[in-house]
Amino acid sequence: MNTIRELKKSDLIKAYTDAGFSTETACAEIDFAIEIISGLTPKDLIIGIMPSPKDIQKLYNTVKTRLSTCQPVAQILGFAFFMGYKFEVSVNTLIPRPETELLVKKAADIIKNNDFKQVLDIGTGSGCIACMIAKNTQAQVLGTDISNDALKIALNNAMHMDLMNRAIFRKSDLFSKIRNEEKFDIIVSNPPYIPYSEKPHLQTEVREFEPGTALFTKDKAGLEFYEKITDLAPQYLNNNGYLAFEVGAAQAHSVKRIMESNGFDKIEILTDVTGIERVVSGKLC
Ligand code: GLN
């Protein structure tokens, strides 16, 4: 992998497959890396627009690091795409997952249908949910996180997306820094939901590189944060306010029960494209 002047995608794909990855993963990651590094899409390459030699060198170095360490490409390059936008990410933020789009869309629908104005996003991480809700609605979104480092990334993302006045961020451990008089129309969260006991079974990319504070719960069912957030949410919601969560596989019905026992009804469960029940929302009654 020493070629620096010429982009030979087949060499890069071979490096991936030699390391045990599928051709599909190889192509997806290489295309992603090229787009992040030089802004070029596969279509650009087909019509002969090529990355500069400097960018090609960066691409080869990225693939080398990715394959030798297992670090996700998004983390090596510091960026990921979410809902068509480029977000800064780091070792301190989760890399946005495609399925999280479902939570953003559901929240945006609820906000638009009810003309809601105030949104709270708990555990905002890179700010991707907060920014995309602000981008797709007229609402103001407050994103909170326990991690200072994540909040800096979230702020950068809001700045780059010109959302500084509508996506704002604050350090808070769940509701700890939300004042009693602050009320929201909808609270959203993609909290940690993987039981710590499952850590050994995760992909190396996730286990070794993504922030544990964003992934893991202490309890065996992964429900700790749904319980804590749902318990306090009614205090911070306006009348007829909503709560919407992203959930892990097989957690939706437990989360539904937690919400019902805390005064929420009209519970809806949405299934993602892979068939997993992924979003649970409910209305405070
Ligand atoms: N969806 C992430 C994963 O499966 C976990 C995100 C979370 O715990 N909120 O790796």
What's the CA-to-centroid distance between 169 and ligand 1, angstroms? Answer: 21
Residue for token digits 């949410």?
Answer: 233
Q: What is the pTM of this model?
A: 0.95
Q: For ligand 1, what atom is nearest to the CA of residue 193? A: 8
What's the CA-to-centroid distance between 2 and ligand 1, angstroms? Answer: 36
What's the CA-to-centroid distance between 87 and ligand 1, angstroms? Answer: 17
Q: For ligand 1, what atom is nearest to the CA of residue 99? A: 1
List, for residues 23-70, the tens digit of each pLDDT value. 999 999 999 999 999 999 999 999 999 999 999 999 999 999 999 999
Q: Residue 2 pLDDT more than 60? A: no
HSE-CB at 35 with a 13 A cutoff on CA atoms is: 18
What's the CA-to-centroid distance between 246 and ligand 1, angstroms? Answer: 9
Residue with CA nearest ligand 1 atom 5:
215
* CA 190 and chain centroid, separation: 8
What's the CA-to-centroid distance between 194 and ligand 1, angstroms? Answer: 7
From 95, 193, 274, 280, the mutation candidate for ligand 1 (largest count of ligand atoms within 8 A of CB) is 193
The predicted model gives 2-18 an average pLDDT of: 85
Residue 250, token pair as written in the block: 């097989």
List, for residues 62-84, the tens digit of each pLDDT value. 999 999 999 999 999 999 999 99
In this prediction, residue 6 carries a pLDDT of 81
The predicted model gives 178-186 an average pLDDT of: 98
What's the CA-to-centroid distance between 225 and ligand 1, angstroms? Answer: 13
Strand partners, 121: 143, 188
What is the C-alpha separation between 211 and 209, in angstroms, rounded? 7
In this prediction, residue 3 carries a pLDDT of 47
Residue with CA nearest ligand 1 atom 4:
248
The predicted model gives 266-274 an average pLDDT of: 97
Residue with CA nearest ligand 1 atom 7:
192
Angle at which helix 252-260 crosses helix 224-236, to 10 degrees, equals 30
Q: Residue 7 pLDDT more than 90? A: no
206 lines ligand 1 (CB under 6 A): yes
In this prediction, residue 212 carries a pLDDT of 97
Helices (H), the chain: 9-18, 23-38, 42-46, 53-69, 73-77, 101-114, 128-136, 148-160, 204-209, 212-215, 224-236, 252-260
Domain-by-domain residue ranges, the chain? 9-69, 100-284
Chain mean pLDDT for the chain: 96
Residue for token digits 């719960």?
Answer: 217
Confidence of residue 4 (pLDDT cuts 50, 70, 90): low
Rg of the chain over Cα atoms, rounded to whole angstroms, equals: 20
What is the C-alpha separation between 41 and 35, in angstroms, rounded? 6
What is the C-alpha separation between 213 and 127, in angstroms, rounded? 15
140 close to 206: Cβ distance less than 8 angstroms: no
- Topology of domain 100-284 in CATH is Rossmann fold (3.40.50)
Q: Residue 162 pLDDT more than 60? A: yes
